[in-house]
Amino acid sequence: MTLGPIGKVWFVGAGPGDPELITLKGQKLLAQAGAVLFAGSLVDRAATLYAPPGCVIRDSKDMTLEEMTAWLIEQTRAHATVVRLQTGDPGLYGALIEMARPLSAEGIEWAVVPGVSSAMASMAAAGESMTLPEVTQSVIFTRVEGRTPMPEGEDLAGLAAHRTTLCIFLSITLMYKVEAALRAAGWPEDAPMLVVHKASWPGEEKILRGTLADIKQRCREAGVASQAMIVASPTLGALHWETLVRSKLYDPTFTHRFRKASA
């Protein structure tokens, strides 16, 4: 007789690094987990702080995808709650579907708990907003081509032509490509740029501000060559602008469902 699977696999977003930026739901699941597989490269091991004594904890940094899914499947035979802990949000550059398919094929239940993406944490660290009225109302999460090819129609120069907020993942070692793309899209040399290294990591976060012309140099000077978010956005630095279009929602002359205009 073979025993069927008993456990469920939870893909939990660990958040960007600060162990306090995991969701309550993620923390609760960790607290009842029998096994946790965590992404060693970026998830602060501290996130596994929440796992109970006796929990099987494994770093996935030296494992292939096949090994990871085999490990998760094996753990569901022994534990009701198995957690795959991923950096930021599991649905962004997280191989979520690749890992979930073999689970579904085995009839193993799985679910996702979202996490605070490093894009959000980076903007928060810098005290910046992704959107501003009449400046930009859209955000693009993207990357430049490294060993993973970019699908047709998604080259950064084309996306940058929209002049929206661009959160560029996985590209800090390819800053020259980011710069070339922004220039090709007509962004001026003084366009503000932001690089955040290890956003939210206690004691390790670095916030670098510069322009299209000098951001690469700033990264070099600061020794930032990994684990960083690049943001190019027309909203950057708005705290110090002389004029700012107000949000309609909070404008005293604007009536909406919950408030009548006062003037």
Q: Under the rule (CB under 6 A), what is the footprint of ligand SAH?
A: 16-17, 42, 87-89, 92-94, 117-118, 121-122, 169-170, 196, 198-201, 227-229
Instruction: Between 50 and 201, name the residue whose CB sits nearer to ligand SAH.
Output: 201
Instruction: Between 79 and 197, name the residue whose CB sits nearer to ligand SAH.
Output: 197
Instruction: Between 34 and 196, name the residue whose CB sits nearer to ligand SAH.
Output: 196
Closest approach, Cβ 129 to ligand SAH, in A, equals 18
- Secondary element (H or E) of residue 118: helix 118-126
Closest approach, Cβ 20 to ligand SAH, in A, equals 13
Residue, CB closest to ligand SAH = 88
Residues in the chain: 263
Describe the chain by its helix, strand, coil percentages, rounded to 5: 30, 20, 50
Range list of β-strands (E), the chain: 8-13, 35-38, 56-59, 81-86, 110-113, 139-143, 165-169, 192-197, 206-211, 228-232
Partners of 236 in the β-ladder: none
At 262 the three-state DSSP class reads coil
Closest approach, Cβ 143 to ligand SAH, in A, equals 8
- In this structure, the strands spanning 206-211 and 192-197 are antiparallel
Instruction: Between 126 and 229, name the residue whose CB sits nearer to ligand SAH.
Output: 229
Instruction: Between 48 and 122, name the residue whose CB sits nearer to ligand SAH.
Output: 122
Closest approach, Cβ 228 to ligand SAH, in A, equals 5
DSSP line for 145-166: -SSSPPPTT--HHHHHTT-SEE
Closest approach, Cβ 147 to ligand SAH, in A, equals 13
